[in-house]
Amino acid sequence: MPVVKEFEKLFQCSDIDITALAALVSGGLYYLSLHKDRSPFCGIDINTPEGYERIERAIEFLVKKIYEEGDIQDEKKAIARRLLEAGVDEDVIKRSVWG
């Protein structure tokens, strides 16, 4: 999937496995599409506008959370960089910033 490659570039400096997340979420979408002529799945019928919107909002939620985690990790890296520049021990930084 070329689009996944683009996202991989965005998240390559984080420890977020965007490829695995994309596989899960897009697999979920495929499954719900393949399932749509059968009974609702988990009580959600994506043939209805309401069901479709719920899945849309769930994807938006997950994307927001993944980007938020990316921001948190960027911030942690900036903290670690400043601590390193200030001469703080690398082990102390590792334990303190990443717990």
Residues that bind its own copies (CB under 8 A): 1, 4, 16-17, 19-32, 34-35, 41-44, 54-55, 57-59, 61-62, 65-66, 68-69
Please report how close the Cβ of residue 49 comes to its own copies at its closest, in angstroms.
14
3-class secondary structure per residue, 8-21: HHHCCCCCCCHHHH
Output 54 or 76, the one with its CB closest to its own copies.
Answer: 54
Please report how close the Cβ of residue 77 comes to its own copies at its closest, in angstroms.
18
Output 68 or 89, the one with its CB closest to its own copies.
Answer: 68
3-class secondary structure per residue, 26-87: HHHHHHHHHCCCCCCECCECCCCHHHHHHHHHHHHHHHHHHHHHHHHHHHHHHHHHHHHHCC
Please report how close the Cβ of residue 54 comes to its own copies at its closest, in angstroms.
4
Please report how close the Cβ of residue 62 comes to its own copies at its closest, in angstroms.
7
Output 13 or 24, the one with its CB closest to its own copies.
Answer: 24
